[in-house]
Chain A
Amino acid sequence: MPVHAAGSRLYHGVKFKHLVKKSGSATSAKSSNISLNLVPFVDMMTILVCFLLMVFSSSGALLQAQKGLELPVAQNNSVLQQAPVIIVTKSEITYQGQMIATVESVLRDDSPTFKIDALFERLDAAGKKIKDDVAESAAGISKAVAKDLVKACEEAKQGIRPQAGKICPEGLAILQADETTDVRLINKIVNTAKAAGFDNLLFAVKNKS
């Protein structure tokens, strides 16, 4: 096997002679051909792709980015799961992207029920639908809920702690609130969720580590 001196080998096998004037051919002393060394480029691309694949996360897609909403920071957390999302920004409360009430009006409301009525109605309807979906999926009528989540619901009834990201969707909701939100508002939302049968709340946080 012949041994060649180190150096660029790219495009040696491609005959581009017809594109080059005879006076400036690659082989002559005054060559006008430039062979780019693509090895560093390929190296850089490979490293970049590896890095991006490592940081790739699908959990962020579960939550909608809200202007001016800063999530609180926490150390001990687990992966997010798909569930109805209640968003509390500095000015308003939305459920699944639909406006429910303004923060000011909810804080002003001193009703003895300590609930947000508009949110209760939405959550109650959503809770019933999720319950039906789980029941139909468990009976094999539909595939609205994944098998592992149906299994998680059965385990929850037996008191078995669910795995992270595989919590029974019945009574599960995500609360995405700004870190500066007044806790009175959070208390009202938690109370409303509990009244509507949402006994499991996932508080969206920013990962500290």
Chain B
Amino acid sequence: MGASVGTDGKGSVNVELNIVPFIDLMSCLTAFLLVTAVWVNIAQINIQPKGKTRDTANVQQDDEHVTLSVLVQSDQIWIGLSRVNEFQPIPKLASGEHDWDKYKTALEVHKKSAFFSERQDLEIAAESTAASQVKYQDIIRAMDVAVQVGFMDVGLSDPAGLAARPTL
């Protein structure tokens, strides 16, 4: 039984709980949870493919609409505004890492500007070649920082389809 009453002696009201079923349950639960535990916490970044693709290269853009474009290259990051045609290069640090702090600061400045204070859209593209490759982690980092700053509608675009593309 779960408990036995008054086993200590005459007139005793001590209650002894039988904890064996409890230990059984705990052991089973522990074993199940240990087996099914997911130690790596996987999440997601929600991205919408945006911009012109190579198939739709001749689609006309709305002239009044200013788009904030980010181009990630192997040696630098470009931040550009369409229509205004302003481009800001952010070169890599001496350590070989992209300057993510400067990139974040630049995006924050744009977010506070009149163009984007009410908007959350931004398009990102990465230009990679066999000689100078851009890694997937870099583009995820660029998107992550953009979402952090407040650009929730991050779109991944083809480098050729960016609304504002720097001409070298």
**Smallest CB separation, B125 vs chain A (Å):** 8
In the assembled complex, B55 has its CB within 8 A of some CB on chain A: yes
Binds B, one of A20-28, A135-143, A197-205: A197-205
**Smallest CB separation, B12 vs chain A (Å):** 6
Given A191-B49, A191-B54, A201-B49, A4–B14 Cβ distance below 8 Å? yes
The digit string for A100-120, where 1 denotes a CB below 8 A from any CB of B, is: 000000010000111000000
Instruction: From B9, B42, B55, B147, name the one whose CB has the most chain A CB atoms within 10 angstroms.
Output: B42
In the assembled complex, A207 has its CB within 8 A of some CB on chain B: yes
Of all chain A residues, the one with the shortest Cβ separation from B13 is A1
A205 touches B43 (CB 8 A): yes
Contact of A80 among B44, B125, B129, B159 (CB under 8 A): B44
The digit string for A40-62, where 1 denotes a CB below 8 A from any CB of B, is: 01100110110011011111111
The binding surface of chain A is classed by DSSP as mixed
B135 touches A203 (CB 8 A): no
A206 touches B41 (CB 8 A): yes
In the assembled complex, B94 has its CB within 8 A of some CB on chain A: no
Q: For chain B residues 14-38, which have a beta carbon within 8 Å of chain A?
A: 14, 16, 19, 22-23, 26-27, 29-30, 33-34, 36-38
- Rounded to whole angstroms, the CA-CA distance of A178 and B27 in the bound complex is 37
In the assembled complex, A74 has its CB within 8 A of some CB on chain B: yes
B33 touches A53 (CB 8 A): yes
B36 touches A56 (CB 8 A): yes
In the assembled complex, A71 has its CB within 8 A of some CB on chain B: yes
Of all chain A residues, the one with the shortest Cβ separation from B34 is A52
Contact of B30 among A12, A49, A63, A114 (CB under 8 A): A49
Residues of B within 8 A of A183 (CB): 72, 126-128, 133-136, 138-139
Residues of B within 8 A of A38 (CB): 19, 23
A203 touches B47 (CB 8 A): yes
B46 touches A200 (CB 8 A): yes
Additional A-B contact list (12), CB under 8 Å, known A74-B143, A202-B46: A2-B14, A4-B8, A4-B14, A38-B23, A55-B37, A72-B141, A74-B144, A183-B139, A187-B159, A201-B156, A202-B47, A203-B140
**4 A-B pairs closest in CB distance:** A60-B38, A52-B33, A77-B43, A13-B7
